[in-house]
């Protein structure tokens, strides 16, 4: 789960056709949009220049901490997608492959038309993408260079637009194409005119809208979707005049509130890949644990800050540290100090457990070994249920506790130590399938759920581990930085 925005770039307002579909299909996602209207159109420009301009847009959006980049412009996708993809460590999506896929799905006759800017047509990107999947497919490409300026000058509904669209598409009418790819994200704004000229028998493919299917799938695949429940935010930037952008944007996105795009100058941005992108990149912390449930939770907490999280699973030869202490803190310190020494890396250790009031605080520091040595959540849970069999619902109060110790190699005196708790009730029947350990039995009244019924984010918001991390606030980042 990730609340950061998705970034969209285009030469102008065309990419808003992709945003429109994203608002519809992915209403929980935040977005940041940049249109390079000052340097539009991109279509007639040499590929090297489109690459340089695209990098400037990308470098601007990276500072907005985007979690994914959509190149919502066919010309930029054709010129720069592989380059940008190879240099960023966030998912990067172009509009050409999704459009091609949808066209192959739609065609019955096996003859597809493509209208696009000169740059896109010249690149052969659609032909390549379509032939890679269907070598024998018949393709007819046509450059429609005037369409972009019609849209950008807000002429899409004028009689001039009607004439230009009819004249431009003339050569396609003698072809027996049954599917036409709108290979520029500006073109869907002219869709009714294009459909009218081509006739109802021709299926129009909106490359940008198709792209949102890929965005949606990749959010799931990389576990990046925003399921925080927070209201999403949408920011719009243009290198041109915001008033024009707002007018076109509000109409196209059918916004009820004013748009307020901001003007930006991106000419000072690097026109190539930056050596270092997000801050804190390259910082690594080792979760000194073998418990996959804990490791996953720490990843959710650290990774949005650009920290690489490793665990003992990545260092199979490191000797196991026994928990011989009599308190959570002693155990957490033992684990943190020894693993930091052995690995010569900064580590975070967690010693945690469940304290049930009706059992005088048991199983406590023995939570992992409650039903005997070895880690067996099922046996531990079974023993807990048996121990509470005669305890009425209201008396089944309990507390989860954690002590976290962050240790630097060979400097135990500099350890950071924090504690966190959460109270709840032990249920008589397990509920939910997420989480780990005692989660299916730990009911949190405030949320009306057991911890195994919560998303990772929900659990972090209220859990002992989340509370302990919050107690460290920004300190841990400075601490980690100082580790070199």
Which position among 312, 368, 462, 480 is part of the footprint of Mg ion (CB under 5 A)?
368
Q: How far is the CB of 388 from ligand Y43 (least distance, A)?
A: 16
Q: Which of 184, 246, 337, 415 is catalytic?
A: 184
- Gap between the Cα atoms of 309 and 377, Å rounded: 24
Q: How far is the CB of 341 from ligand Y43 (least distance, A)?
A: 17
Phi, psi (rounded to 5 degrees) for 375: -95, 110
| Measured torsion, CA atoms of residues 130, 95, 185, 87, in degrees rounded to the nearest 10 | -130
Q: What is the DSSP string of 415-482?
A: -EEEEEEEEEEE-SS---SSS-TTGGGEEETTTTEEGGGS-HHHHHHHSHHHHHHHHHTTHHHHHHHT
Q: In the window 373-392, what residues touch ligand Y43 (CB under 6 A)?
A: 375, 380
Phi, psi (rounded to 5 degrees) for 432: 95, 160
Q: Decide: is 32 part of the binding site for Mg ion (CB under 5 A).
A: no
Region of 31-39, 55-63, 345-353, 409-417 interacting with ligand Y43 (CB under 6 A):
345-353
Contacts with ligand Y43, 297-336, as mask; x by CB under 6 A:
--------------------------x-------------
Joined together, the tokens standing for residue 377 give: 């959540």
Contacts with ligand Y43, 396-425, as mask; x by CB under 6 A:
----x-------------------------
Q: Are 383 and 372 in contact (CB under 8 A)?
A: no
Q: How far is the CB of 323 from ligand Y43 (least distance, A)?
A: 6
Q: How far is the CB of 359 from ligand Y43 (least distance, A)?
A: 14
Q: How far is the CB of 398 from Mg ion (least distance, A)?
A: 19
Binding partner at 439 among Mg ion, ligand Y43, none, C-beta below 5 to 8 Å by kind: ligand Y43
Contacts with ligand Y43, 426-465, as mask; x by CB under 6 A:
---------xxxxx-----------x-----------x-x
Whole-number Cα distances in Å, 164 to 118, 168, 194, 276: 16, 6, 10, 46
Q: Which of 36, 206, 350, 351 is catalytic?
A: 351
Which position among 123, 289, 334, 338 is part of the footprint of ligand Y43 (CB under 6 A)?
289
Strand order in the sheet with 179-183: 138-143, 111-116, 179-183, 203-206
Establish whether 351 is a catalytic residue.
Answer: yes
Joined together, the tokens standing for residue 354 give: 């469940």
- Gap between the Cα atoms of 82 and 76, Å rounded: 10
Q: Name which of 395, 323, 417, 321 is nearest 364 in CA terms.
A: 323
Establish whether 184 is a catalytic residue.
Answer: yes
Hey, which residues are catalytic here?
73, 184, 351
Please give the residue ranges that form the binding site for ligand Y43 (CB under 6 A).
289-291, 294, 323, 350-354, 367-368, 375, 380, 400, 435-439, 451, 463, 465
Q: Which residues bind Mg ion (CB under 5 A)?
A: 368
């Amino acid at each position: 789960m990730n609340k950061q925005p998705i970034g969209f770039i285009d030469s102008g307002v065309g990419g808003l056709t992709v945003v429109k579909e994203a608002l519809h299909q992915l209403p929980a996602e935040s977005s940041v949009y940049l249109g390079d209207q000052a340097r539009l159109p991109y279509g007639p420009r040499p590929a090297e220049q489109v690459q340089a301009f695209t990098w400037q847009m990308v470098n601007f959006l990276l500072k907005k901490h985007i979690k994914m980049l959509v190149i919502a412009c066919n010309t930029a996708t054709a010129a720069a997608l592989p380059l940008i993809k190879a240099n960023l460590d966030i998912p990067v999506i172009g509009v050409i492959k999704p459009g091609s896929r949808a066209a192959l799905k739609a065609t019955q006759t096996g003859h597809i038309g493509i209208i696009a800017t000169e740059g896109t047509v010249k690149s052969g990107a659609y032909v390549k993408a379509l032939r890679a999947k269907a070598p024998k497919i018949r393709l007819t490409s046509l450059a429609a260079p005037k369409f972009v300026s019609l849209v950008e000058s807000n002429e899409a509904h004028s009689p001039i637009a009607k004439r230009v669209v009819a004249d431009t598409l003339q050569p396609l009418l003698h072809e027996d194409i049954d599917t036409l790819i709108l290979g520029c994200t500006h073109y869907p704004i002219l869709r009714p005119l294009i459909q009218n000229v081509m006739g109802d028998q021709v299926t129009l493919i909106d490359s940008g809208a198709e792209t949102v299917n890929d965005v949606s799938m990749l959010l799931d695949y990389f576990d990046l979707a925003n399921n925080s429940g927070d209201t999403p935010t949408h920011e719009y930037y243009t290198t041109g005049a915001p008033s024009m952008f707002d007018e076109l944007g509000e109409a196209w996105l059918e916004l009820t509130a004013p748009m307020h795009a901001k003007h930006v100058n991106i000419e000072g941005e690097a026109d190539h890949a930056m050596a270092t992108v997000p801050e804190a990149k390259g910082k690594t912390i080792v979760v000194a644990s073998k418990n996959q449930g804990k490791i996953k939770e720490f990843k959710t907490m650290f990774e949005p800050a650009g920290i690489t999280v490793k665990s003992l699973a990545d260092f199979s030869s490191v000797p196991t540290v026994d928990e011989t202490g009599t308190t959570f803190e002693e155990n957490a310190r033992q684990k943190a100090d020894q693993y930091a020494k052995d690995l010569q890396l900064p580590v975070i250790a967690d010693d945690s457990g469940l304290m049930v009031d009706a059992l005088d605080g048991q199983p406590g520091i023995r939570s992992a070994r409650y039903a005997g040595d070895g880690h067996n959540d099922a046996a531990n849970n079974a023993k807990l249920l048996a121990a509470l069999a005669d305890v009425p619902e209201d008396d089944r109060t309990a507390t989860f506790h954690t002590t976290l110790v962050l240790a630097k190699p060979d400097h135990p005196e500099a350890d950071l130590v924090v504690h966190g708790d959460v109270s709840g009730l032990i249920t008589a029947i397990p509920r939910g399938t997420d989480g780990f350990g005692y989660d299916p039995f730990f009911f949190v009244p405030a949320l009306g759920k057991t911890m195994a019924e919560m998303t990772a984010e929900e659990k972090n918001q209220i859990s002992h581990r989340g509370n302990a991390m919050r107690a460290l606030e920004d300190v841990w980042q400075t601490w980690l930085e100082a580790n070199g």
